[in-house]
Amino acid sequence: MGKQENKLKLNIFFTRLWSLLKPSHKDIKFLSVFIIVIELLRLVGPYFLKLIIDLIANFQKENIFELILLIAGMFAANQIVSLVDYFTDRKIIKILVDAESYLAMNAFTKLLYLPLNYHEKENTGNKVTRIDRGIDKIDNFLVNLFWEVAPTVFQLLFTMTVLFFVDWRFAIIYLFITPLFVYLTYLVNNKIQSNRTQRHADYELSSGKIAQAIININTVKSLVQEKREVKELKKVRDRIMHNGFVEFFTIFNFNLSRSLLIDIGRVAVLFVGIYFVWTGSITVGSLVFIFTISEKALLSLFRISRIYDRIMEGSEAVNRLYLLSNETSEINSPKAGVKPRHVQGQVEFKNVDFSYDHSKKKVLNNINLKIPAGSITALVGPSGGGKTTVARMIYRHYDPQSGYVSLDSINLRDYDLYGFRKFIAIVPQEVEIFNESVWNNIAYAVPNASEQQILAAAKIANAHEFIIKLPQGYDTEVGERGVKLSGGQRQRVGIARAILANPRILIFDEATSNLDSYSEKLIQEAIEKIKENRTIIIIAHRLSTIKKANKIIVLENGRVVEEGSHYELMQNRGGLYMKLIQLQKMGEVE
């Protein structure tokens, strides 16, 4: 996510929030007008009350009609306020519902389109919590903004303005109290910001730990580490609880000072008002009006301070959601990128250098290699040699720091990202299976595929035989990550899914490394069935998997050290390939 600000200023918070709420800008502006109108109308009732009290103080029989008109006017003003309130509430609900929907969709869409290296760095639980808490805090903030913040701010501004016009001497009292109140509010939030930042970071860490333990539940249980996981989570939750107590008790302590200021203001207005009535400077009705709107101003001050506390409490979660929404992708699709209708499948690396996170250690070091179209090419070599990185760069999960990767002699950077990816499929070492039916897992590549296409793909992948023996056949739910299937069965479902996509380039990234000999044999047979008119790239160690390749490229420390057919490489007695084969036969490597 990058380094986050330790102290998020209020203007930055509102700027970022406004950016997140872009689809609702028009509605929010329209709503602001409603709120201004309604807060102006709220001052009409107290003014009618002033007129009524002054009239009663010197009441004459001939004033009865005037009194009735004033009471009717006050009633009408209150009804207009209620009517405007009704339409305001409807608009608020619309904004809230819309915002919750598009914020969730935008965040989910952003996550899906971020490059693989982002997801490799970020914990799943952290990402989910960042979205959930961010949306929840924005939802809470909007409720506070439209029903409390905006009405209260406008109420404070209007009451202060009216006070200056009615009797400026009362307004002077607020000119002394308001700066002190604002300073206290700023001071408390500045004091607890570091606790607040740590607490939100720990919320994400807590969710990450829970998700990680559940995802790896088999390992947790098999190694009897339940107590350890609980202990680790408790450390984080205790830290959250401690920072929460520090944060909220600090606010409560400062609230005593803020309440004292409010009471001082209230008493000052009352004493000064009584004195002015006694000296004849103002009427009793004026005192009631001034005290009523003064009370509104004082309560507005206190409400704003409490609301500000709540805003800043949620600001860190909103900030994290904003940073996610503005996370930049290192892999960008050109606006006028090439959208091929078909590809031949020739891949070439030219003087490619690459290191993860731009570290000094190069994973690929000035690498040059060519994978012919329509051939089976194997990438072999010691672990950490760069084989999987090569595969991921073909799919453009990463871009080289220097040099280029081309498909059919066109630089991958010049292609529309999704335009060329549809011609490539990868079967990884650990096939990712959704907690759905076998049918849906295969059809994921082509959701509208026909029954005939899905069955054909399963048969080519040698998956059909075991699928029809499952309790509900193709409708069998396979459990989270496919736990109800064996490793070999998951791989064959993954191959069926890849075949259904009908790729021109098919990459097997250690797809058979964890399988028994029988499962490996079935997958090798599947490769034989689909190799026609396809570029097959196999990353593997086992001789049985790679020896039939048309071309074998040997990688070591990010460099191509050998290439040729199995027969040609076996002629080089001192070569790395020969050593790897000999070690495999001796059982030292697999």
* pLDDT for residue 590: 46
Q: Give the separation between CA 424 and CA 397, rounded to whole angstroms.
A: 12
Percent of the chain with pLDDT over 70: 90
Length of the chain: 590
- Mean pLDDT rounded to a whole number for the chain: 80
Q: Do domains 11-325 and 340-423+505-514+532-590 have the same CATH topology?
A: no
Each residue of 516-550: pLDDT tens digit?
677 777 777 777 887 888 899 988 777 777 888 88
pLDDT higher than 50, residue 1: no
Q: Taking residues 461-482, report their average pLDDT.
A: 87
pLDDT in tens, 34-58: 888 887 887 787 778 777 887 777 7
pLDDT at residue number 3: 39
Report the DSSP beta bridge partners of residue 559. Answer: 556
How far apart are alpha carbons 124 and 190 in whole angstroms? 31
The residue that leads in pLDDT, 140 or 91, is 91
Q: Which token pair is 129?
A: 């919590």
Paired strand residues for 406: 348, 411
Phi then psi for residue 410, to 5 deg, are: -115, 130
Q: pLDDT tens for residues 390-448? A: 988 898 888 888 999 999 999 999 998 888 888 988 888 788 888 888 998 898 888 88
pLDDT of residue 346: 92
pLDDT score, position 349: 94
Q: Quick one: pLDDT at residue 192? A: 76
Q: What is the pLDDT of residues 266-275, one digit of tens each?
A: 788 888 888 8
Beta bridge partners of 538: 378, 508
C-alpha closest to that of 398 among 119, 139, 173? 119
Q: Are 346 and 408 in contact (CB under 8 A)?
A: yes
pLDDT at site 221? 66
Contact 568, 373 (CB under 8 A): no
Q: What is the pLDDT of residue 589?
A: 47
Architecture of domain 340-423+505-514+532-590: 3-Layer(aba) Sandwich (3.40)
- Separation between Cα atoms, residue 178 and residue 200, nearest integer Å: 31
pLDDT value of position 6:
37
Spell out the domain ranges in the chain. Answer: 11-325, 340-423+505-514+532-590, 430-502
Cα dihedral sign, 56-57-59-63: negative
What kind of architecture, by CATH, is found in domain 11-325? Up-down Bundle (1.20)
In DSSP terms, which residues pair with 540 in a beta bridge?
none
Segment 171-188, tens digit of pLDDT:
788 777 777 877 777 777
Q: Write down the architecture of domain 430-502 according to CATH.
A: 3-Layer(aba) Sandwich (3.40)
